[in-house]
Amino acid sequence: MRLTRYVLPLLKETPAEAQIVSHRLMLRAGMIRQSSAGIYSWLPLGYRALQKVERIVHEEQQRAGAIPLLMPTIQPAEIWRESGRYDAYGPEMLRIKDRHEREMLYGPTNEEMITLLVRDAVKSWRDLPRILYHIQWKFRDETRPRFGVMRGREFLMKDAYSFDLTAEGARLSYQKMFVSYLKTFARLGLTAVPMKADTGPIGGDLSHEFLILAETGESQVFVDKALLAKDWSSVEVDYEDPASVAGIFESFTSAYARTDETHDEAIWAETPAERQVSARGVEVGHIFYFGTKYSEPLKAAAIGPDGQPVTLEMGSYGVGVSRLLGAIIEASHDENGIVWPEAAAPFHVALVNLKQGDAAVDAAAEKLYAELTAAGVEVLYDDRDERAGGKFAAMDLIGLPWRLTVGPRGLASGQVELRRRKDGATEELTPEAAAAKLIAATRGL
Ligand code: 5CA
């Protein structure tokens, strides 16, 4: 993408309304614009990053056996009455009437709707277990929307729902989703610690929240350092083997990790003092096993092997997809801007032309742009006629993993400069060597 043909409204000033760094940087880097409280447009750069995150969530869900579908944002009130949640949900639910005075709502979550779909689609124990999910916009009329996409009113969620014949089966589905969360967050460069959680209005008896540690997090957390020291990036699992899944679940739930909602001083005291970490955290995922809480009132059952109907055992599994963008930036930035982990970066490379209009520099930059793009490398080409300082500052702010600079001085000796955003490591290379290195580094992303 050429910057001269893109829409990237960078802000020089720090917006006064933004209290936390991710919100400030998302506004300054031209990723999002607020439309009303807690409701945002995703500008082209932000939208690309959002799609990267979505893709990883999709891949890891499907690897764990979950099946994608898409349910609507607007739901009939009636199904929430049937489950008994319509009145209980309170003012967070945006209630709407259509032109026929029918009561509708903008979905804050989808347990009712998916339960009815599965009730109609699944008749026999032979059709179970199943996990279905979608990535869809939700609306919750939060009392205090804040911190940009972290606590929005409209936000993008991945919500999965598992259906099993037995409680034992449901626990395995729960554990599969648990493991898929570890893998999803690790691919995004995040350590999201699973913590024992309350089930709240979703209901049920087994629940974990996944939190990344960040000073600006809304939750107080208590974690055993031994858990943080584990290797989060190379969890290997065989989803077809229940023992493999259970083994990972055990190893990531055996050490103490709780939020203030479930914190228990007496149990915490069993963790040696030098291993006690108390910090703030941002919740990026929340999973629940709740048995027949919805399948019972909504009459979702399958015929069991003995010919008798069995009420389905269910769980639900949420990831805050839009919140993850904020969480990634909270976890990965410096004083100059965002430092994208490779998997979520909106482009792989910023190609900077230091002397737009100079025939030799233009030719070399154009050639690199064409070659890299043809090889599948995602390039944001800064072909504006601007001073070097301004270009570098802009590219540091948006934080792409690599910066490739073409300037008259280097080119005179046949060289371009390749710089890694993460650590500032810089190399002078021939254009061919730089291109080869970038193609290798971004392959498979
Ligand atoms: N039905 C269940 C699981 S599918 C559910 O709704 N769980 S939840 O309420 O915990 O939401 C799932 C995830 O959505 C949360 O972990 C959080 O990451 C994200 N989320 C919740 N509320 C907001 C919000 N107001 N803004 C941004 N993300 C949110």
Whether 75 lines ligand 1, by a CB cut-off of 6 Å, is no
Whether 174 lines ligand 1, by a CB cut-off of 6 Å, is no
Q: What tens digit of pLDDT does each residue of 308-322 get?
A: 999 999 999 999 999
Helix (H) or strand (E) holding 141: none
Q: What tens digit of pLDDT does each residue of 334-392 get?
A: 999 999 999 999 999 999 999 999 999 999 999 999 999 999 999 999 999 999 999 99
The C-alpha angle with vertex 333 and arms to 282 and 349, in degrees rounded to 5, equals 125
The DSSP-derived string for 167-198 is HHHHHHHHHHHHHHHHHHHHHTT--EEEEE--
Question: If you search the block for the tokens 């290195």, which residue do you land on?
Answer: 437
Whether 171 lines ligand 1, by a CB cut-off of 6 Å, is no
3-state secondary structure of 146: strand
pLDDT value of position 202: 58
Average pLDDT over residues 188-200: 90
Query: pTM of the prediction?
Result: 0.96
pLDDT bin (cut points 50, 70, 90) of residue 203 is low
Give the distance (Å) from ligand 1 centre to CA of residue 422: 30
Which atom of ligand 1 is nearest to 110's Cα?
A: 1
pLDDT bin (cut points 50, 70, 90) of residue 14 is confident
Please tell me the residue having the least CA distance from ligand 1 atom 22. Answer: 151
Whether 48 lines ligand 1, by a CB cut-off of 6 Å, is no
Q: 420-441: buried (b, 16+ CB within 10 Å) or exposed (e) per residue?
A: ebeeeeeeebebeebbeebbeb
Which atom of ligand 1 is nearest to 145's Cα?
A: 25
Whether 405 lines ligand 1, by a CB cut-off of 6 Å, is no
Average pLDDT over residues 179-197: 96
DSSP state of 144: S
141 token code pair? 């009329």
pLDDT value of position 204: 61
Q: What tens digit of pLDDT does each residue of 127-185 get?
A: 999 999 999 999 999 999 999 999 999 999 999 999 999 999 999 999 999 999 999 99
Give the distance (Å) from ligand 1 centre to CA of residue 25: 23
Q: How far is CA 127 from CA 163, 209, 292, 298, in A?
A: 10, 29, 18, 19
pLDDT value of position 17: 87
Closest C-alpha among 132, 81, 94, 52 to residue 316: 132
More confidently predicted of 204 and 445: 445
Please tell me the residue having the least CA distance from ligand 1 atom 5. Answer: 318
Q: Quote the percentage of the chain above a pLDDT of 70.
A: 99
Work out the mean pLDDT of the chain and round it to a whole number. Answer: 96
Q: What tens digit of pLDDT does each residue of 238-292 get?
A: 999 999 999 999 999 999 999 999 999 999 999 999 999 999 999 999 999 999 9
Question: If you search the block for the tokens 């599948």, which residue do you land on?
Answer: 376
Please tell me the residue having the least CA distance from ligand 1 atom 29. Answer: 320
Whether 317 lines ligand 1, by a CB cut-off of 6 Å, is yes
286 near 209, Cβ under 8 Å? Answer: yes
Residues in the chain: 445
pLDDT value of position 205: 65
Give the distance (Å) from ligand 1 centre to CA of residue 123: 30
User: Is the model's pLDDT at 2 over the cut of 80?
Assistant: yes
* Rg of the chain, C-alpha, whole Å: 24
Give the distance (Å) from ligand 1 centre to CA of residue 157: 7
Give the distance (Å) from ligand 1 centre to CA of residue 311: 26
Please tell me the residue having the least CA distance from ligand 1 atom 12. Answer: 318
